[in-house]
Structure 1
Amino acid sequence: MAYRETEKMRQRKAEARQRIVDCTFQCVMDGGFRSARINRIADLAGVATGTIYRHFESREDLFAGVFRLATQREVDKVAEALATEGNAAARLETALRQFAERALRGPMMAWSLIAEPVDPKVEEERLKYRKAYASLFETAIREGISEGCLPDQDARQSSTCLVGAIAESLVGPLSPTQPARIRRQHLTTPMHWSIPSFAFACRD
């Protein structure tokens, strides 16, 4: 008689997988992907190391999944900010400010998502989500052009530049080598973003 997995077994497997993801997420939040060692994750999740590989093909596969989870949360927050009231320039400023402030409140996770050297599989996910951010910004810039609050320009090029600019501006403050007092100073200093000026600089 062929073995048939029971609902209880499926639930236990799902719970174990979720614990693995949650514990990996916590490891990354505490010390970046470099600190997320399989043995440590297994200990925190209360499973054997072999159990991790029954749920994920490889360490890189697990990290890519955690990266997707963490970054999608940030993309969703940017989308929410861009859906608020106000003209496109104001909404872009709100989204960028929120992105930066959330990054500075969780510097290790933000560093891991933005700049930490990672495996190729995770880097592929990083590029996908940069495109996701750029797509959101491109839509907002096009709306701003239509509204007349942003000058006519190549919206796709400007959105790509915008993603690169904010990531680059945060690398220093988020770096693990940056003293904690400096990161706190960045967090308590108001963020000022001039979207119209930036967009004007990027016009054809």
Structure 2
Amino acid sequence: MAISQTERKGRSAQVANDRRLAILRAARDLVTRVGFREAQMNAVAEEAGVALATLYRNFSSKAELMVEVVGLVSQREVDAAAGMAVSDGSAADRLWASAWTFASRALRGRRLAHALVAEPVEPEIETARLAYRRKLARVFETVIDQGIRDEDFPPQDAQASAACIVGSLFEGLVGPLALNGHRTDAERESHARSIVAFCLRGVGHTGAMPGL
């Protein structure tokens, strides 16, 4: 049976989409191993199993590719934190759970997390990372607003408090995420839990820390 022109176009579009996703996954995996700076385009092409020319037909520059990698990975992390933010429990429970989810996932994937948080990058990639921070802050802002309405937290500027939580998580985790081998996994986890506890105290939580 002959394949119609519409079907051929559909199959061609699917092949192109699959190839693009394969390139993005390859770039993500490479960044996970070596960071943004060392993830070169020829290495991405080899990892994805495509010709370098094919890679450049999909992404005109390394910066364009890495911006999409940041978007892909950061959305996954935001979704994980947001899932905990709408779980059961008090606002303090949910704020702890969402912040700890972010921190613990960062500790498990330290190289990629460090690239997303602290590695020096091109301006385009930094802009994408700033968008990541804003999305994560909105997750925390929602929980803080609910906590204020439920009188779990004192009145405050929820947007400012959420931005401070993101800053504490990003900056506080830079040390534990650095791949210098001077900290054990247990020390990194303890440090991260202390940061999350600090964040809860910052929004006015005075009770026992949910995760401690």
In structure 2, what is the equivalent of residue 42 of structure 1?
45
Q: Does 1:170 align with 2:173?
A: yes
User: How many pairs were matched up?
Assistant: 197
Tell me which amino acid in the other structure corresponds to 2:47: L
Structure 2 unmatched runs, 5+? 206-212
Query: Does 2:209 match 1:198?
Result: no
Change (3 A) 1:143 1:28: same
Mark the CA change 1:145 to 1:29 in structure 2 (over 3 Å): closer, same or farther.
same
Query: Is 1:70 the equivalent of 2:70?
Result: no
| TM-score under structure 2 length normalisation | 0.86
**Mapping of 1:53-132 within 5 angstroms?**
53-132=56-135
Amino-acid identity (%): 37
Q: Which amino acid aligns with 2:106?
A: A
Task: Report the residue type matching 2:145 in the other structure.
Answer: R
Distance 1:7 1:135 in 2: 37
Shift of 1:51: 0.8
**Aligned AA for 2:178?**
S
The one-letter code sitting in structure 2 at the alignment partner of 1:200 is G
Amino acid in structure 2 at the alignment position of 1:58: S
Are positions 1:23 and 2:20 aligned together? Answer: no
1:163 is matched by which residue type in structure 2?
A: V
Alpha-carbon RMSD across the aligned residues, in angstroms, is: 2.0
Structure 2: how far apart are the matches of 1:185 and 1:102?
Answer: 14
CA contact (8 A) 1:64 1:122 kept: yes
